[in-house]
A and B are shown apart, each in its own frame.
Chain A
Amino acid sequence: DSGVTQTPKHLITATGQRVTLRCSPRSGDLSVYWYQQSLDQGLQFLIHYYNGEERAKGNILERFSAQQFPDLHSELNLSSLELGDSALYFCASSPHRDGLNSPLHFGNGTRLTVT
């Protein structure tokens, strides 16, 4: 058990809809990272928050947004969903701002299926 909790485990929704994925980092970790994993693209970094502030953006679509709350949990919001958004979405946490010398610990992911 990595200590990172993600909910829900599975999500099935229709195109055009909006969903929210939730992540609770390991106790004491201030950084939260969001990744998208699909079969042909591997793990794609979306966004990183540290102690409530956005630190880095990766390949995140404008239809997607995230935030980290004062209690350090994070939410990833996906809107105007398209079929191609179907994927596993992982949250990972680490204690430090940049992750250097403190590797990421991943949750078990949310499997999103857009129909």
Chain B
Amino acid sequence: GQQLNQSPQSMFIQEGEDVSMNCTSSSIFNTWLWYKQEPGEGPVLLIALYKAGELTSNGRLTAQFGITRKDSFLNISASIPSDVGIYFCAGQLVRNAGNNRKLIWGLGTSLAVNP
């Protein structure tokens, strides 16, 4: 199936460091979502972006909807051990093959934080 290019695939950082990850596509999206998944749980929504150029924060997390509508970035500042998990981007296409809208998902960025 169709997927977004999410990078990096994994990160191992020291507590206190800032983190950046991104998703790119050749397709144009009208919505970008960032989710976090912890072991044994389902993905939890972190930030939703609905307009090109939009910059939205949620605590230490900041995400941006790229101007071209083909990419999005998530930054985590001053990381802490509980930031550990897999971060997924998901995009909703402006137009997709069917007559409905469905989310296209990245493969995730696995984040490990060394205390």
Binding site for B on A (CB under 8 A): 2, 4, 42-45, 48, 55-56, 58-59, 90, 92, 98-101, 103-109
Contact = CB atoms under 8 A, between A and B. Distances in A.
B95 interface: no
A42 B44 CA distance: 15
A48 B92 CA distance: 15
Nearest to A106: B42
Interface residues of B, number: 26
Given A45-B102, A100-B101, A101-B50, A2 B44 contact: yes
A108 B103 contact: no
A45 B104 CA distance: 8
A42 B43 contact: no
Nearest to A88: B42
Contacts of A101: 31, 50
A100 B92 contact: yes
Interface in B98-115: 98, 100-103, 105-108
A48 B102 contact: yes
Interface string B23-67: 000000011010100001111110010100000000000000000
B45 A104 contact: yes
A20 B73 CA distance: 38
B88 interface: yes
21 contacts: A2-B42, A2-B44, A42-B105, A42-B108, A43-B43, A43-B90, A44-B1, A45-B102, A48-B100, A55-B100, A56-B98, A90-B42, A90-B43, A99-B92, A100-B30, A100-B31, A101-B31, A106-B42, A106-B43, A108-B41, A108-B42
B14 interface: no
B103 to A, nearest CB: 7
A48 B42 CA distance: 17
Contacts of A92: 42
Given A45-B1, A98-B101, A108 B40 contact: yes
Contacts of B88: 42-43
A58 B102 contact: yes
